[in-house]
Structure 1
Amino acid sequence: MNDHVERRERPVLTNPAAERVKQVRGLSRRSVRRRTRRILVEGPQGVREAVHFAPEKIRDLYVTAEAAHRHADVVEPARQAGVVVHEATEEVLAAMCDADTPQGAAAVVDWSPASLEEVLASEPRLLVLLAHVRDPGNLGTVIRGADAAGADAVLVSDGSVDVMSPKVVRSTAGSIFHLPVVTGLPVGQALAALGAAGVRRLAADGAGRHTIDDTDLTGSHVWVMGNEAWGLGASTREACDEVVRVPIHGHAESLNLAMATTICLYASARSQRND
């Protein structure tokens, strides 16, 4: 729980080798994140979203003196919400963080994935299922794009990169606090559950006979996106209701996973707004 005692001056953290610093740095390891159910949020944008959307989950906030002044719109609301704010030197922030340039702010936040049952109970209209995504930047950018498009949740299969890793969290730019993220899903079981719930399953694949331009995207559906290197397996495509491709009008061979996913989600969002 957060420390809700009265505000008091705390000493500036100056020792990069201190035990507290080592504990925060430990969140760069998957085993520590899984055991503690905590993530490290680096940079003012991600910290801002945590403060605004999940202040009760912030364990500690660390800022340099310069960042505290420059980002008072983050620090003051955090203090008002009872978040423990520690001033630290740039050397301490660098020792705590995974990023080369943490930009003077970091927070330790309690975070747990949602469940597929919870998501389906909310009667979602727009979802994305990532099958064996391996690149942390792609995963974080998909979460950010899904948030921007108004998707109801992001579903991540087993065998994927850890959603809780600092690189993924940074790439979401705070969107990880805006919508449910489900992790560790066996693809076949997830597709079966989605189909049983009446969610239409659209496999995004270059081999699709239909494009997003001539596919009905008005009802409840999930975009199923494959691995960056090998795409979707035949069994996954066959388990979906339709295989749909993103048309390429120029000379590009293909689209980045995050780019293709965002295009699909925005096409769906446009169709559903006009529904």
Structure 2
Amino acid sequence: MIGKNSRHVKEAVKLKQKKYRELQNKYIIEGIRFIEEGIKSSKVHYILYSSKLFKTSGYERILNTPCPAFEVSDDIISILADTENPQGAVAVAEKNLYTLKDIKNKFIVVLDEIQDPGNMGTIIRTADAAGAGGLIVIKGSADVYSSKALRATMGSIFHIPIVFYDNFKEASFELKNNDYRLYSTSPEAKKYLYDCNFKDNTAIVIGNEARGMSKDDIELCHEKIKIPMIGKAESLNAAVACSVIIYEVVRQRLTT
């Protein structure tokens, strides 16, 4: 058993802070299923577990692997885990570092200052499920590697490329240079998403939950689109709206 002064525990504690995650290009994951996905993706550096893990079904799937594992106390797991009743295991994983060239399927979701980590994780999971080529996250958005965002991805963080840009202008410039057509979402748009052709290189841009996209950013897109709102609700949750659009892209691409 290793204690709180071991280098592995010290590193894991530091990685609870965003600045260290960015500095080290590592982050913390927790739970058997999540750790198992990380091991399959060869991204887990090591596992920290306590005796509590042995009370959870499936623990052997993460311990009976070549991945280094170190036993710690329940108290240390409580410090490192963010769930109310942790399963008894956390792991330190390595970030994937991608560029736009790594995205092969020419369908991208761009997140322009999405603030809620739950929305962030849900959109990542949906994009993965729909077979999108990747995502672009603009600076000022929620931290992809925060515990809440990671939990919402349900392991999709390991399956889909995510590229980070400092601003939307830079991202839009590169997308256009790679022949993508950019679609901004706006309730003021005159065109419904069903009237668009998403079969070519497509980038769907989702703006901030409260403010939407800035006027300048909207002007950088080729078209403004909207989702029909037939009932009395004025808007949809950002992750829900994004899912509706993502699956319209999928529907069109499955239709010959």
- Is the pair's TM-score, using the shorter chain for normalization, greater than 0.5? yes
- Percent sequence identity over matched residues? 29
Mapped pair 1:101 → 2:85:
yes
The answer to whether the 8 Å contact 1:200/1:241 transfers is: yes
Match of 2:101?
Answer: 117
Mapped pair 1:74 → 2:61:
yes
Deviation string for 1:152-184 (max 9, x for gaps)?
A: 101000122222222222221110000101113
Match of 1:83?
Answer: 67
Structure 1's unaligned 5+ residue stretches are 1-10
Letter in 2 for 1:29: Q
Letter in 1 for 2:102: E
Mapped pair 1:35 → 2:23:
yes
* TM-score normalised by L of structure 1: 0.85
Write the distance in 2 (CA, Å) between the matches of 1:190 and 1:39. 25
Letter in 1 for 2:168: V
Deviation (angstroms), 1:126: 1.1
Match of 2:9?
Answer: 21
The answer to whether the 8 Å contact 1:153/1:179 transfers is: yes
Equivalent of 1:49 in 37, 54, 64: 37
Letter in 2 for 1:58: V
Match of 1:224?
Answer: 205
Write the distance in 2 (CA, Å) between the matches of 1:249 and 1:45. 39
The answer to whether the 8 Å contact 2:51/2:74 transfers is: no
- Aligned positions of 1:126-165 closer than 5 A: 126-165=107-146
Deviation string for 1:194-216 (max 9, x for gaps)?
A: 11211111111111111122222
Letter in 2 for 1:235: D
The answer to whether the 8 Å contact 2:35/2:44 transfers is: no
The answer to whether the 8 Å contact 2:184/2:204 transfers is: yes
Give the SS at the match of 1:243. strand
Letter in 2 for 1:93: I
Deviation (angstroms), 1:66: 4.7
Write the distance in 1 (CA, Å) between the matches of 2:218 and 2:97. 26
Structure 2's unaligned 5+ residue stretches are none
Give the SS at the match of 1:70. coil
Write the distance in 2 (CA, Å) between the matches of 1:100 and 1:66. 14
Deviation (angstroms), 1:273: 1.3
The answer to whether the 8 Å contact 2:110/2:203 transfers is: yes
Give the SS at the match of 1:143. helix
Write the distance in 2 (CA, Å) between the matches of 1:101 and 1:135. 23
Aligned residues: 254
